[in-house]
Amino acid sequence: MMQSEKRENPFLPEPARIVRQYDLIKNHRFFQIRHVDMSRAMSFTYDPGQFLMLSIPGVGEAPFSISSTPSRPGILELGIRRTGKLTDALFRLRDNDTVYIRGPYGNGFKLDQMRNKDILIVAGGLGVIPLRSILYYVLDNRDQFDRLFFLYGARSPEEMLFRTEFFQLKERTDIECLYTVDKGSKDWTEEVGVVTKLFRHLPEIDPEHVNAVVCGPPVMYKFVIQELLKLKIPKNQIQMTLERRMKCGVGKCGHCVLDHLYTCIDGPVFTYWDTLHFRELI
């Protein structure tokens, strides 16, 4: 497949191989994939917060957040919940099987306004998948950012994604990790309750100096944003990444439209300020 052909047809999926995969929790699997074309794999880059369109021929195509960081090139990581036809088929694939991808798409997080600021990452459930990209990006470029706070809430200890990985992060001194689950268990030593309960453990912050990034189930936004506003973080310094139905990724198919914006090209990252103009956002 020629590069020129790819440029000419933005819908043309490129082959990629599943390098490694394992279950994160029940029905949630971690995939490492790499373009079959090695030079393409090594030169492929993206921004934290962008997404891919992933195809399985004969089954279909859907958008998936990239969970890896561009600071670690060569491998693309996805965290996927089994929840439909395409993901059913994906979960049946094995290592070294081929999938097809195109992208990266979307705007990604607003890194320019985040540099040299305190970064507050707030994740709920599966929302941690796209935020893991910015989390590792900040950790890999630690000198470009000020303090880093990572707040993550899951339903139960068993449903916490990347549990081992995230508990290892707690040993680092350059990040403050705060975890909670709705329902604890006897070996759970962290907070119990909804994710907003974690805010009281935060040290004093200068709200103008903070950039918050949020992702979680639709019900979570309202409560998390209330907390962020209580802290007086400016509305355009609260970023969230949104989910929508998408069929093209490049602003043509219409499905992800929000007013005159398309989630796929103008998002998926929007600020809270944006959502005040576009009332359908959250």
Partner 1 sequence: MKPEYFRTFVESLDKFGTLYGPVYRNGVLTWDTPESFDDLVFGGEHTMIPIKKLFHPPRFDMFRFDSDGFTPDYSSIEKRVIVGVPPCEIHSLLRLDEVFMEKPVDPYYAKQRENSAIIGYSCLPSENCFCKSTGTDIVEEGFDLFFVDLGEFYLVWVGSSLGHDMVLVHEDYFDDNVTHDDIKKYIAWRKKRDGMFTKSFDFRSMPDLMELSYDSPIWEQFAEKCLSCGQCTMVCPTCNCYNVTDIPDVSDTLSGRRERHWDSCMFVDYSLVAGGHNFRGARADRLKLWYTHKLRAYASEYGKPACVGCGRCVETCPVEINVLTVAEALVTMEVPAR
- Is 40 a binding residue for partner 1 by CB under 8 A? The answer is no
Q: Which CB atom, from 121 or from 246, has the smaller least distance to partner 1?
A: 246
Q: Does 38 bind partner 1 (CB under 8 A)?
A: no
Binding mask of the shown chain, residues 144 to 163, with x at each position contacting partner 1 by CB under 8 A: --------------------
DSSP the chain: --HHHHHH-TT-PEEEEEEEEEEEETTEEEEEEEESSHHHHHH----TT-EEEEEETTTEEEEEE--S-TTSTT-EEEEEE--SHHHHHHHT--TT-EEEEEEEES----HHHHTTSEEEEEEEGGGHHHHHHHHHHHHHTGGGSS-EEEEEEESSGGG-TTHHHHHHHTT-SS-EEEEEESS--TT--SEES-GGGGGGGS----GGGEEEEEE--HHHHHHHHHHHHHTT--GGGEEEE-----SSSSS-S-TTEETTEEHHHH-SEEEHHHHHHSTT--
- Pick one of 8, 155, 161, 267: the residue that binds partner 1 (CB under 8 A): 8
Residues 82-141 that bind partner 1 (CB under 8 A): 83-84, 86-87, 100
x/- track of binding to partner 1 for residues 258-277 (CB under 8 A): -xx-----------------
Which residue, 81 or 235, is less far from partner 1 as judged by CB? Answer: 81
Q: Is 245 in the site for partner 1 (CB under 8 A)?
A: yes
Binding segment for partner 1 (CB under 8 A), chosen from 159-167, 199-207, 221-229, 256-264, is: 256-264
The minimum distance between CB 279 and partner 1, in angstroms, equals 6
Q: Contact positions toward partner 1, by CB under 8 A?
A: 1, 5, 8-15, 55, 57-62, 81, 83-84, 86-87, 100, 218, 243-245, 247-248, 250-255, 257, 259-260, 279-280
